[in-house]
Structure 1
Amino acid sequence: MTEDARLLAGRYQVGKLIGRGGMADVHEGTDARLGRRVAIKLLKPSLAIDPNFRLLFREEAQKAARMAHPTIVRVYDAGEETVTDANGIETQLPFIVMEYVDGRLLKDIIADGPLSPQEAVRIADGMLTALEYSHRALLVHRDIKPGNVMVTQNGQVKVMDFGIARAVSDNS
């Protein structure tokens, strides 16, 4: 089965690649059961063989799933799928199913040229609202940057990627 034809957990159709990160790739997808467009984050297979990376990935899903706010990308589901590599070795490949955001990364918007002061303030306000909400949930993002912020077609700011977030009660 090809990457684009993969069905995860019997319901999530993996589509085209829409983003790459250090630990994971993000694909556009479809929730076949609910008929909605989703984003599917897949841990890179080279990292999935390491139980520590699988644990970090699962913790990211759990942290993000605790939050339901218009300025934070929603997590709908998470799981692991058994995949077989080219050598016939089976591995558990973790995935996170998230809200699909129809918009642009803030880093791409900035690359287009300077924002008006009003637009910059509006976007910063959305980011701060998301961070305030996550802090009230006792979660510090720790990697807020233009590459982790999207702006929808109608201007809604969405913060994503709580992968290295830390609970406020953590001592390490």
Structure 2
Amino acid sequence: MNINMPTSLAGGRYQLGQLVGRGGMAEVHVATDTRLGRTVAVKIMRADFATDSIFLERFRREAHSVAQMNNPNIVNIYDSGEEAVTTETGEVEHLPYLVMEYVKGQTLRDILKVNGALSQRDAEQVMMGVLNALEYSHRMGIIHRDIKPGNIMISEQGVVKVMDFG
């Protein structure tokens, strides 16, 4: 299904920029929160999943569960909603989205692809961040279920951030 992707969400509050990531059921764009004047990441469900009740429930559950968490090693969720978009056939679809902390950096997957294996010291630092995030989320009753290098961000300052709790 082809849709006319919006350039903004929530009545113009979030101005969408370039595509920065793509996953199994969503795309992530860098965006500007015009109300607060900050850069954010917006995860928008792919249109082909927007009518699937199982995927919608997973997406909403991610928004609800992660928004409750506050940990330096977990990407923060700031907002969520649904945006009405028009398909090329003129039908209106509702695309759920999450507004998240924008982490300027790279995924661990991309770092490994370019640099190869991490040194023991760097591997220990990454694992300490991941384990801190998982220990916290488990205490909150939330299980990640998909820890992999593509779901681990390393900020430009070296902070480990776990994302994608869907």
TM-score by length of 2: 0.94
Q: Measure the CA separation in 2 of the matches of 1:51 and 1:13.
A: 27
Aligned to 1:96: 98
1:146 CA drift (Å) = 0.5
Q: Measure the CA separation in 2 of the matches of 1:123 and 1:50.
A: 35
Aligned to 1:36: 38
Listed as ranges, the matches of 1:39-118 within 5 Å are 39-111=41-113, 112-118=115-121
Q: Measure the CA separation in 1 of the matches of 2:96 and 2:16.
A: 13
Q: Measure the CA separation in 2 of the matches of 1:160 and 1:130.
A: 10
Amino acid corresponding to residue 162 of structure 1 in structure 2: F
Moved more, 148-157 or 44-53: 44-53
CA RMSD of aligned residues (A): 1.3
Q: Measure the CA separation in 2 of the matches of 1:54 and 1:155.
A: 33
Structure 2, unaligned runs of 5 or more:
none
Superposed CA deviations along residues 80-116 of structure 1, whole A, max 9, x for unmatched, are 0111110000111100000000011001111221211
Structure 1, unaligned runs of 5 or more:
164-172
Q: Measure the CA separation in 1 of the matches of 2:57 and 2:30.
A: 23
Q: Measure the CA separation in 2 of the matches of 1:57 and 1:142.
A: 14
Q: Measure the CA separation in 1 of the matches of 2:52 and 2:86.
A: 15
Contact kept? 2:84, 2:94, Cα under 8 Å:
yes
Are positions 1:128 and 2:131 aligned together? Answer: yes
Amino acid corresponding to residue 136 of structure 1 in structure 2: R
Amino acid corresponding to residue 20 of structure 1 in structure 2: R
Q: Measure the CA separation in 2 of the matches of 1:2 and 1:89.
A: 11
Aligned to 1:142: 145
1:50 CA drift (Å) = 2.2
